[in-house]
Structure 1
Amino acid sequence: MIRIGTRGSRLALWQAHFVQAELRKHGIESELEIIKTQGDRVQHLGFDKLEGKGFFTKEIEDALLEGRIDCAVHSLKDLPTNHPEGLVLAALSYRASVGDRILVHPDRVVKGKPFGLADNATIGTSSNRRKAILKDLHPGLLPVDIRGNVPTRMKKALSGELDAVVLAAAGLERLDLDLSGLHVIEPSPREFVPAPGQGVMAVQCREEDIEIRKRLSLFHHPVVGECTNVERTVLNLMEGGCSMPLGVYCEQDQLGNYHVWAAFAQTANEPLRRVQLSQSTRAGLAEAVVERLLSAPSAR
């Protein structure tokens, strides 16, 4: 029986149940252990106000290191790029829709404006990456910090408390939320660049547990691993965490070439720098993206 550590949010539990189902396909039974993280306990502060990295992962990683659980399921975008000594990534899931969705209250839609939103419209997000990209694409918007699980944040727009909110498409899809009462904008991830690793679930375990690593590797997606490795290497080289205004998206085409889109700002309120780079190999790709990001002229 494998013990799986997870956060207790509806989306985190969906992800943990997905991993359970994948293991069950191979005759492996498991049980869930729900663990509260700093990000779950502190709901009144934005991510940039929380200390350190790993707001949604540290307590779960501690449980792994202490042997209270055998593996952990995370959203890859929440996982710091440097693992604690003794822990490794054993598997990465398929990638759901990689981009963000902008959910607009239907009465607040203004035709002809970016995202259908008027100047001075309020839009909910606590992500500095999203704030920087919104400022670049629609400088007239008023970002408002929001926290809470996916349904809670969605209701901010549905109720009209805010004109709109920005959420990851993957969470909306996996929870199968009813968006019929909202106007849904689907920006391209090549323009509204997602967080590194967005849309992917990561399963972490102890490096020494070879047998469990073998079992978990049964549902690993290698191409997802290759592309997200580029994204997370960029994040690591930029020395960034969840609060850095950085988006990186890598995809592989049918010929095996890699294409990367990146967007970076020093702060959420400073001009955005954009880079697009393609190579036939991953060798040196992340390093080249970082070099160009740091030398690229600002958008304005």
Structure 2
Amino acid sequence: MTEKALRLGTRRSKLAMAQSGQVAEAVRQVTGRPVELVEITTYGDTSREHLAQIGGTGVFVTALRDALVRGEVDFAVHSLKDLPTAQPEELALAAIPVREDPRDVIVARDALKFTDLPRGSRIGTGAPRRMAQLNAYARVHGLDIETVPIRGNVDTRIGYVRNGELDAVVLAAAGLNRIGRIDEVTDFLSVDTVLPAPGQGALAIECAADNADLIAALGELDDPFTRAAVTAERSLLAALEAGCSAPVGALADLLADGQFVKEMRLRGVVGTTDGTRTVQLSTTGPMPQTHDQATALGRGLATEMLAQGAAGLMGERAH
């Protein structure tokens, strides 16, 4: 008799279905059990408001988490950058697999790169974080651009460029990689230009905290280096008391000496969306060996950023 299928809760978007499908295959490999996708609609999928207006935090994950708590699904896959920084006691973050490319990318008309966009170019993005950093870069380097708030899936966003409504849009490299559309990118933005969202490019696999067997099985997919990096980034975000729609960028790099990872460098930025004021700092410490050590790295950098005036740059905080 075949074992009962594990039910994987996922959002319905093309990207969510693609990344959940990849996780489902990996879970089949490690458990030997069939996995079926259970499609769930979240508030963030149905609302037409911009993320900053609806609060951002948790809008794409609450319905999935509710289904987990009710026992309607066995585990769920999220884009980690969508997860609120506070972890519910009844749920376990069982695995954070190896991270995809965390960078932001440009899809522009005429295959243009960001710095080659003509004066007055309109660039679409749904993230205050991207607006803040693009506008700050433009001010420093004398670029004449206008950032335009947009919503929608990948097709909708790239469609704004194809139909001439916008000159370019900014998207996450990881998402385009996962749906096989990375060849449409016209420019990869260096993390020195735009720091990604905390956790960008990483996935979170969540299940009930009291299901020890499933936690152990899913834990086979966990990457300790990715977990340490995103824990530090999300700790920074939490200590700044900012939601996932706030203009905060963070990236933890693992610094290797030969084959051994010895240190972690954490960079953080917060800024006003018009790019007029930013606070950007970094810190380097020994490679965290525990959750608490990674958390401390993020909190420490946040404390320095707050001392430099970061709190006043975040505008409306999304709690």
TM-score by length of 1: 0.91
Q: How many angstroms apart in 1 are the aligned matches of 2:16 and 2:187?
A: 25
The 2-side partners of 1:28 and 1:189 are apart by: 39
Partner of 2:191: 189
Q: Answer whether contact 2:263 2:287 (CA < 8 A) is retained.
A: yes
Matches within 5 A, 1:259-278: 259-265=265-271, 270-278=276-284
CA RMSD of aligned residues (A): 1.9
Partner of residue 317, structure 2:
none
Q: Is 2:100 the partner of 1:90? A: no
Residue 166 of structure 2: SS of its match in structure 1?
Answer: coil
Match of 1:248 in 2: 250
Task: Give 1:277 shift.
Answer: 1.5
Whether contact under 8 Å (1:129, 1:268) holds in the other structure is no
CA contact (8 A) 1:190 1:261 kept: no
Amino acid of the structure 2 residue aligned with 1:240: A
Equivalent in the alignment of 1:106: 110
- Aligned partner of 1:8 among 8, 12, 27: 12
Instruction: Indicate the SS of the match to 1:93.
Output: coil
Deviation at 1:253, TM superposition (A): 1.6
Q: Match for residue 286 of structure 1?
A: 298
Displacement of 1:84: 2.4
**CA distance change for structure 1 residues 68 and 77 in 2, over 3 Å: closer, same or farther?**
same
Aligned residue type for 1:288 = G
Query: Does the CA contact (< 8 Å) of 2:109 and 2:168 recur in 1?
Result: yes
Residue 270 of structure 1: how far off its partner (Å): 4.8
**Retained in 2: the 8 A contact 1:264–1:273?**
yes
Contact 1:105 1:164 in 2 (8 A): yes
Q: Which moved more, 1:141-150 or 1:224-233?
A: 141-150
- Structure 2 unaligned spans of 5+: 311-319
**Stretches of 4+ aligned residues off by more than 2 angstroms:** 266-270, 281-284, 295-298
- The AA in structure 1 aligned to 2:307 is S
Structure 1, residues 186-227: CA drift from partner, whole Å, max 9, x if none?
121233100000001110111001111111111111110011
Contact 1:274 1:296 in 2 (8 A): no
The Cα offsets for residues 210-248 of structure 1, whole Å up to 9 and x where unpaired, read as: 111111111111110011100011111111112110000
Letter in 1 for 2:297: L
Residue 175 of structure 1 and its aligned partner are, at CA, apart by 0.9
Q: Aligned equivalents of 1:39 and 1:297: distance in 2?
A: 31
- Which of the numbers 158, 162, 175 marks the counterpart of 2:166? 162
Letter of the structure 2 residue corresponding to residue 126 of structure 1: G
| 2:43 alignment partner AA | Q
Aligned partner letter, 1:115: T
- Between 91-100 and 135-144, report the one with greater CA deviation: 135-144
2:209 aligns to what?
207
Q: Quote the residue 1:175 is aligned against.
A: 179
Work out the CA distance in 2 between the residues paired with 1:160 and 1:278: 44
TM-score normalised per structure 2: 0.86
Could you say which residue in structure 1 is the equivalent of 2:313?
Answer: none
Percent identity over the alignment is: 33
Unaligned 5+ residue runs, structure 1?
none
1:40 and 2:42 matched: no
Letter in 1 for 2:132: A
**Partner Cα separation in structure 1 for residue 153 and residue 169 of structure 2:** 13
Q: Cα 1:267–1:222, aligned 2, differ >3 Å: closer, same or farther?
A: same
Instruction: Report the structure, 1 or 2, having the larger helix content.
Output: 2
Structure 2 residue aligned with 1:134: 134
Give the equivalent residue in structure 2 for 1:258: 264
State whether residues 245 and 268 of structure 1, in contact with CA within 8 Å, keep that contact through their aligned partners in structure 2. no
- Give the CA deviation at 1:179: 3.9
SS at structure 2 position matched to 1:257: strand
Q: Could you tell me which residue of structure 1 aligns to residue 227 of structure 2?
A: 225
Letter in 2 for 1:194: P
Identify if the C-alpha distance between structure 1 residues 291 and 266 changes in structure 2 by more than 3 Å, giving closer, same or farther. Answer: farther
Q: CA contact under 8 A between 1:75 and 1:199: conserved in structure 2?
A: yes
